[in-house]
Each structure stands twice: as structure tokens, then as C-alpha cells.
């Protein structure tokens, strides 16, 4: 080997070595940086929310709650957010989803139950008189669930409800109910989880039904859906298997404060964030709003008859009157659907410039 | 530069390059491998459990449940393990921990409540007659909790219970109750969590009390403690604050299957693993034992009078008879404390060779 070729080799070797080092460092950097992409690549959070005071108030609360340097930091164990279901996470018009299921069950089971033809609230269902049904109020129509969901194991109930959800369609949008989650709320729940919050759903209705859809529709595991449940009988079958069988009768409590009490019984703490849309949610909004530490009470107002529904005082489902007044007095942020959401459902296209839309 | 020195340089360069490559690869490997340290450094899991069929059965279940390649793999969302509390996670002798607290409250509040001197179960408490108290059974002594824990906000209750736990001592071990978690069970809960399980505690007693200690004592957040709770009143104070106030009366249900039903109502699924220690846990062990998929029903038998307590049939607290027979028939693993645990509490030293100990 001549001097030049040896020197060339040395140069090549050291060039190669440099390249290896650089590549190694680049790989290492890539490897270390994987969890946090470069700032320029970060998509706008809450993309279906328009810019404005509501989105700002939400981000301000969440970002501070999860920032240890903030005065409004909240320890991870206390970061619990609770969402009402009907009207807060999906449409509740013309009927609560659980009620739509119970009505369908009544129709399916009517032939075997001739006594229902003359008995309320079954009579109203079989005559298609939804108004009369809603006039009976929740204590009235909860009987539908109690009767049609009883006498089967808890697993059989889940299986029947799953089958129904696969074929049932919302009467207005002609889509599976499971496609009607409010997209901005799904984004909000995702963002909360990314910031270390545990996200719960609360309902005054039959939560066994909601638990069938909560995981796929909202990413909320069944055990984070809270509310009243059917009483259960423990049964040992002839072949020695132990099963839980749904009993008739549902402990359905009404009255102010029921949802707040339900939440506390289920999770043992006052949430730091709660979202609702009706007067039935007022007490839990007040309860979280009375917390001494950082907190957020958020109220949804249905104002968009074109893309969803518009209602408040004059409705039999999800009446909103006092809670809206209270939100004004207490300065709780109000989600005005027409104003604050650039899209309502995932099947709508995302506007090109959602901030300005 | 002479030919030899150039060649030497080339050799050095390529050696250096090789070293850089190797170092780079090593760093990269280290970086990628961070979550799983080298096999030689892995400490023995469940260090306070002695080798034997019980430890093997537990590890076999958990490792398969979390291994996607195993036929007994369980999807993450279904990986829920539920532990009974008293006698399963800490001693229940001479009295359930929640009951010890209620008794102390009765003594503290006796002066303001002279009527208790002649009224059961208060009379038994004030006369120090624990036997008479236990003869009344849970429906009897739950009245103690109902009366002494009522009329305060839920936060005031937690605060009082926290204060008590800071000073109260177990009568036998003369240590804070919070130091009496069974160390092998803490290790088991940690291992389950590391393998993607969500760990719950179930109790037939007052869970508001358990929730005060569950996070620090077991790493179980409050919302993962399930069981009966006091009824709550929603109260708006004069200055406009919303509070939840404990009502007298506790919905305390007894009977077979109550814990299984409580679990289902709270979490909406049949757990894949359940741990208990008494006949009161039999139904939930049967229920999980009847699951069609992979599952583990585990029973604790108190056999160690030297380090803890030894009891089964002849006790007023935590009676174990039928469940032990059933464990034999169904081949459920039984934790024999004297045989299976190399130490019971964290304050005992860990044996040098725990596997052989």
C-alpha cells in the first residue's frame, strides 16, 4: 500500500467513523425523542373546537392542571373529569338512547306480554305516543327498562344490547347511534387523558346499556361509567356455575344532587372537572364549582338546529333553564354548539381552517 | 508520514471506527432496552412469596394473561383483579379495621350521647364487650358507623378518619394500622399492575373509611375501592356552596352473592381474578371461577399464629369453612400463610434466600 492510498484509507476511515458517530447520535436522538415529536409537527389540539373563550378556558384549565410549575397544578391522583352522557356526549333528542333501546325491546316482546296493551307506560310505547311516555317522567319510563331487561344474566343483557346497537339507526341522521358521539367531546376526552386525567361518564339512566358502548364510542372503560344499576340475584345453576341475573326493579332516584351523590359514592372524591347540559346536571356543576382548589364546571347549550338540535327551556328531554342562569352568575364556560364547534360529528369533514371557521 | 505509521493510523482509525460503531450500537440497544433491564439484573418477583405451587399458580396465570403469544392471554381491558380487604390485605383480627374506628368514635362521642349507655350496639362498645358486639353481626354493628359517621360533609369524614389513622395503633403489633398491609399482597398488586391489570378492593363494610388509606397503603386509588356507602344529602350552604353530607343509615346488604353483585354494579364486568379469605367471599370466588375464559380464584387461609393469626371455622370474624371445602373441590389455589409467605409485613426483614426459606 502506497503512502497516498494509506492516507486516503485513513481519511476514508475517519470520514466513515464520523458518519457512524453522526448516524449513531442521530439514531440515539431519534430514539430518545420518540415520545415528543418536534414542535412544528404538533397538530392543533381540540381541532373541532373553534377559537374563542370556551376553548381557551378549557385549555387553560387542563394545561395548568397538568403543569407542575403552575399555581393551578392538580396532583395526578385528583385529576378526575366526569361527563354527563345524554346531550353532553351525544344527542338526546328525540329520545335518550337507553330509552330508544327499551322501547324497541317493548315492541319486540309485546306479543309475549299482552297485558302491556292496557298498562302504562307500555301502552304509550305500543301506541307510538312518545309524548305521553315522556310526560310520565323518568320514574315512569324507567319501568320499561326494569321489565324488559330483567330475568337474564348480566352477560346476556350486554350481548343483546350489543346486537341491537349493530343494527339500530338514529331516526334523524340514519346512522348507527355509535357514530353520533360528539367529535369535539371525544377530542376533549382524549386530551384530558393525554394530560393524566381519568375520564368518567355519569348517567341517571341504565348504565349497563351505556357500558356496552362506552369503550368503543368514547374510549371510556366500562368501570368508568357510573350511575344507577339493576339489582342482581346471585344464582348457582344446576351444573354448578355461578351467574348474576338481573332482577326487575331499578333503583332510580330522582331529585337534585342525585348525580353528585352518585359520583361521590362511585369514586370517593369530588371531581375537578364536570360537564353537563341540563338542569338535571346543575347540582353536580355546583358541587364541583364549590371546590376550593382549581376546577372547571362546563355547560353545553344546544343551539344548532341545522347540524344537531336547538333547545333549552321548552323541551321534555334535557330541559335547560336554571343551569344556564347559574352558569351566567358563576361565570362557568358555556359550550354554544353553533358557535364553538366547527363540526359536531366525526362524519362531517373537518374545516380547512378550523380556528377561523 | 511513513507507510507503517499511515497503516497504523488506518488500523487505529478503523479500530476506533469499530469501537464507535459498537458503542453506538450498545447505546442504541441500551436506549431501546431501557424498559426491560438485562435478565441478570431482574430481581425475583413476588420476593416475599416462598417457592411452591401457590406462587407458581399465581405467576402462571398472570404471565399468561399478559402474554399475547399465550393461549391464556387476556385483552388489557378485561384484566381486572379484585381483592377483598379485611383478612385478605391486612389482619381482620381481633376486629375489622373500620369497626375499630367506629368503636373509637363511639367512645369519643359518648358524653354527648347519653342514650347510648342503654342502647345496643352502643352499650356493648361502651362496656368493652366486643364479643357481644360481634354476636350482633354486621347488621348490628353497622349501626355504629351509621350513627357516628353521619351529619358531616364527605370531606370532613375523610379528614377525621385520616387524623385517626395517624395516631391509632393495632393492639397486638403496637404499630399504625397503615403498616399492617400484607407485604406479599402488596407485591402481588404491584406485579399485577406491572402486567397491565387494574386492581380493585371490595369490602362489605364502610368503604369511605378504606378509601382514606387505599392509596398510601396499597397504591389503589379511591375510585377502585368498591362496596356499600352511606347515603348522601346534597346541601346548599348559606354562602352558596354545594356540599354532600352523610346521612344516617347505611345500605348494608348481607347474604351470599352481595359482593359479586357489588363488583358487577361498580365495574360492569366479571373480573378475571379475585382474592378472598372467608365464607363471605365464596360467592365471588365461585362467580369468577365460573368464567369461561382464563381466570383465577384465590383463597387466603390464616394459618400462622406466630407471625399473624390462625383461624378458620371457629371465629366470629372472617369465618372460613365452606369456601375452604370448595377450594379443594374446584382446585383453587390456597394461600397458606405459614407455608407460602416468607414474611407477612414489610417491617419484618426479608429472608436472605426467600425461595428456600
Distance from CA of A329 to the nearest CA of B (A): 12
Distance from CA of B162 to the nearest CA of A (A): 14
Facing B9 at nearest CB: one of A10, A222, A231: A10
Question: A290: which chain B residues are within 8 Å (Cβ-Cβ)?
Answer: 240-243
Q: Which residue of A has its CA nearest to B247?
A: A261
- Restricting to B residues 302-331, those with a Cβ less than 8 Å away from any Cβ of A are none
Facing B268 at nearest CB: one of A211, A243, A290: A211
Q: Which residue has the cell 379495621?
A: B97
Is residue A273 pLDDT above 60, yes or no? yes
Query: Best of A8, A9, A231, A265 to disrupt the B interface by mutation (most B CBs within 10 Å)?
Result: A265
- B213, with CB counted inside 10 A (0-12, 13-18, 19+), is buried
Give the three cell numbers for residue B17.
Answer: 471506527
Q: Provide the pLDDT for residue A140.
A: 76
ipTM, interface predicted TM-score of the complex: 0.85
Is residue A14 pLDDT above 90, yes or no? no
Distance from CA of B293 to the nearest CA of A (A): 13
Asked whether the beta carbons of A23 and A16 are under 8 A apart, the reply is: no
Question: A197: which chain B residues are within 8 Å (Cβ-Cβ)?
Answer: none
Q: Which residue of A has its CA nearest to B287?
A: A242
Does B152 touch chain A if contact means CB atoms closer than 8 Å?
A: no
Question: B3: which chain A residues are within 8 Å (Cβ-Cβ)?
Answer: 1-3, 6
Strands A230-236 and B230-236: unpaired
- The share of chain A scoring above pLDDT 70, in percent, equals 85
Give the three cell numbers for residue A269.
Answer: 372524591
Return the number of CB contacts < 8 Å for A and B. Answer: 164
Task: Give the domain ranges of chain B.
Answer: 3-35, 53-92+181-340
Q: Quick one: average pLDDT of A308-317? A: 94
Does A231 touch chain B if contact means CB atoms closer than 8 Å?
A: yes
Indicate yes or no: CB of B20 within 8 angstroms of CB of A23. no
Kindly report the number of other CB atoms within 10 A of residue B110's CB atom. 14
Q: Which residue of B has its CA nearest to A226?
A: B266
Indicate yes or no: CB of A244 within 8 angstroms of CB of B236. no
Is residue A353 pLDDT above 70, yes or no? no
- Restricting to B residues 161-220, those with a Cβ less than 8 Å away from any Cβ of A are 198, 207-208, 211, 215
Strands B334-336 and B296-303: parallel
The partner residues of A82 in beta bridges, in order of sequence, read A200, A274
Is residue A320 pLDDT above 80, yes or no? yes
Facing B283 at nearest CB: one of A7, A242, A256: A242
Indicate yes or no: CB of B232 within 8 angstroms of CB of A265. yes
**How many H helices and E strands in chain A?**
13, 9
CA distance B343 to B336: 12
Distance from CA of B171 to the nearest CA of A (A): 29
Which string of DSSP letters, residue by residue, matches B120-143?
TTHHHHHTT-HHHHHHTHHHHHHH
Q: Could you give the C-alpha distances from B189 to A210, B79, B83, B88, B231, in angstroms and in order?
A: 29, 12, 9, 12, 30
Q: Provide the pLDDT for residue B183.
A: 98
| Alpha-carbon torsion, ordered A227, A228, A229, A233, to 10 deg | 130
Facing A242 at nearest CB: one of B244, B267, B286: B286
CA distance B98 to B77: 32
| Domain A49-92+180-204+254-357, architecture per CATH | 3-Layer(aba) Sandwich (3.40)
End-to-end CA distance of chain A: 71
Question: B245: which chain A residues are within 8 Å (Cβ-Cβ)?
Answer: none
CA distance A309 to A93: 7
Is residue A19 pLDDT above 80, yes or no? no
Indicate yes or no: CB of A21 within 8 angstroms of CB of B16. no
What is this structure's pTM?
0.86
Indicate yes or no: CB of A3 within 8 angstroms of CB of B7. no
Indicate yes or no: CB of A234 within 8 angstroms of CB of B225. no
Q: Provide the pLDDT for residue A206.
A: 78
Q: Quick one: average pLDDT of A299-304? A: 98
CA distance B209 to B203: 11
CA distance A231 to A235: 13
**What's chain A's average pLDDT?**
88
Residue of A146 and B17 predicted with greater confidence: A146
Q: Provide the pLDDT for residue A357.
A: 47
Distance from CA of B2 to the nearest CA of A (A): 7
Q: Which residue of B has its CA nearest to A22?
A: B24
Q: Which residue has the cell 497503516?
A: B7
Query: Best of A6, A152, A323 to disrupt the B interface by mutation (most B CBs within 10 Å)?
Result: A6
Per-residue pLDDT of chain B (357 residues; tens, 9 = 90+): 445 555 544 445 555 455 545 555 555 554 454 555 455 567 899 999 999 999 999 999 999 999 999 999 999 999 999 999 999 999 999 989 999 999 999 999 999 999 999 998 899 999 998 888 888 777 778 888 888 999 999 999 999 999 999 999 999 999 999 999 999 999 999 999 999 999 999 998 879 999 999 999 999 999 999 998 999 999 999 998 999 999 987 666 677 799 999 999 999 999 999 999 999 999 999 999 999 999 999 999 999 999 999 999 999 899 999 999 999 999 999 999 999 999 999 999 877 665 544
Residue in B180, B154, B176 with CA at minimum distance from that of residue B307? B180
Indicate yes or no: CB of A261 within 8 angstroms of CB of B221. no
Of A78-82, A293-297, B38-42, B70-74, minimum mean pLDDT range? B38-42
CA distance B232 to A264: 9
Which string of DSSP letters, residue by residue, matches B185-248?
HHHHHHHHHHTT-EEEEE-SS-HHHHHHHHHHHHS--GGGEES--EEEEEEE-TTS-EEEEEEE
Give the three cell numbers for residue B40.
Answer: 441478570
Does B257 touch chain A if contact means CB atoms closer than 8 Å?
A: yes
For residue A39, the SS3 value is helix
Q: Provide the pLDDT for residue B227.
A: 93
The secondary element (H helix, E strand) that includes residue A296 is strand A296-303
CA distance A218 to A103: 24
Confidence of residue A295 (pLDDT cuts 50, 70, 90): very high
Kindly report the number of other CB atoms within 10 A of residue A37's CB atom. 10
- Restricting to B residues 77-116, those with a Cβ less than 8 Å away from any Cβ of A are 77, 80
Question: A225: which chain B residues are within 8 Å (Cβ-Cβ)?
Answer: 268
Q: Provide the pLDDT for residue B114.
A: 95
Q: Tens digit of pLDDT for each residue in A165-219?
A: 999 999 999 999 999 999 999 999 999 999 999 999 999 887 999 999 999 999 9
Residue in B269, B327, B266, B333 with CA at minimum distance from that of residue B296? B333
Give the three cell numbers for residue A257.
Answer: 344532587
Q: Provide the pLDDT for residue B23.
A: 54
- B39, with CB counted inside 10 A (0-12, 13-18, 19+), is exposed
SS3 content of chain A, % helix, strand, coil (to 5): 45, 15, 40
Between helices A154-167 and A97-109, what is the axis angle to 10°?
100
Question: A17: which chain B residues are within 8 Å (Cβ-Cβ)?
Answer: 13, 16-17, 20
Q: Could you give the C-alpha distances from A246 to A157, A208, B76, B155, in angstroms and in order?
A: 8, 11, 27, 34
B53-92+181-340 CATH choice from 3.10.150.10, 3.40.50.1010, 3.40.50.11540, 3.40.50.1000 = 3.40.50.1000
Amino acid at each position: 500500500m502506497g503512502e497516498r492510498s494509506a492516507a486516503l484509507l485513513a481519511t476514508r476511515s475517519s470520514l466513515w467513523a464520523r458518519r457512524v458517530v453522526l448516524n449513531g447520535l442521530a439514531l440515539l436522538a431519534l430514539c430518545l425523542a420518540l415520545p415528543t415529536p418536534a414542535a412544528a409537527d404538533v397538530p392543533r389540539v381540540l381541532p373541532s373546537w373553534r377559537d374563542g373563550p370556551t376553548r381557551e378556558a378549557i385549555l387553560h384549565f387542563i394545561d395548568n392542571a397538568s403543569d407542575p410549575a403552575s399555581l393551578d397544578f392538580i396532583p395526578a391522583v385528583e385529576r378526575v373529569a366526569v361527563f354527563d352522557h345524554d346531550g353532553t356526549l351525544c344527542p338526546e333528542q328525540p329520545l335518550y338512547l337507553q330509552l330508544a333501546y327499551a322501547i324497541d325491546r317493548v315492541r319486540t316482546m309485546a306479543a309475549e306480554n299482552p297485558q302491556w296493551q292496557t298498562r302504562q307506560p307500555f301502552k304509550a310505547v305500543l301506541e307510538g305516543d312518545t309524548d305521553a311516555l315522556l310526560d310520565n317522567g323518568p320514574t315512569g319510563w324507567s319501568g320499561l327498562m326494569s321489565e324488559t331487561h330483567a330475568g337474564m344474566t348480566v352477560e346476556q343483557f350486554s350481548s343483546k344490547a350489543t346486537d341491537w346497537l349493530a343494527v339500530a339507526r338514529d331516526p334523524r341522521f340514519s346512522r348507527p347511534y355509535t357514530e353520533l358521539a360528539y367529535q369535539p367531546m371525544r377530542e376533549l376526552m382524549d386530551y384530558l387523558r393525554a394530560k393524566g386525567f381519568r375520564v368518567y361518564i355519569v348517567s341517571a339512566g341504565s348504565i349497563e346499556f351505556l357500558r356496552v358502548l362506552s369503550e368503543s364510542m368514547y374510549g371510556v372503560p366500562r368501570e368508568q361509567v357510573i350511575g344507577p344499576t339493576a339489582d342482581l340475584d346471585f344464582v348457582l345453576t344446576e351444573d354448578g356455575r355461578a351467574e348474576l341475573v338481573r332482577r326487575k326493579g331499578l333503583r332510580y332516584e330522582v331529585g337534585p344532587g342525585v348525580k353528585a351523590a352518585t359520583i361521590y359514592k362511585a369514586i370517593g372524591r369530588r371531581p375537578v372537572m364536570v360537564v353537563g347540559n341540563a338542569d338535571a346536571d346543575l347540582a353536580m356543576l355546583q358541587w364541583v364549582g364549590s371546590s376550593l382548589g382549581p376546577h372547571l364546571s362546563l355547560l353545553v347549550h344546544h343551539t344548532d338546529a341545522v347540524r344537531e338540535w336547538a333547545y333549552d327551556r321548552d323541551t321534555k328531554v334535557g330541559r335547560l333553564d336554571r343551569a344556564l342562569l347559574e352558569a351566567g352568575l358563576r361565570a362557568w364556560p358555556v359550550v354554544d354548539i353553533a358557535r364553538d364547534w366547527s363540526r359536531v360529528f366525526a362524519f362531517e369533514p373537518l374545516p380547512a381552517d378550523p380556528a377561523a371557521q
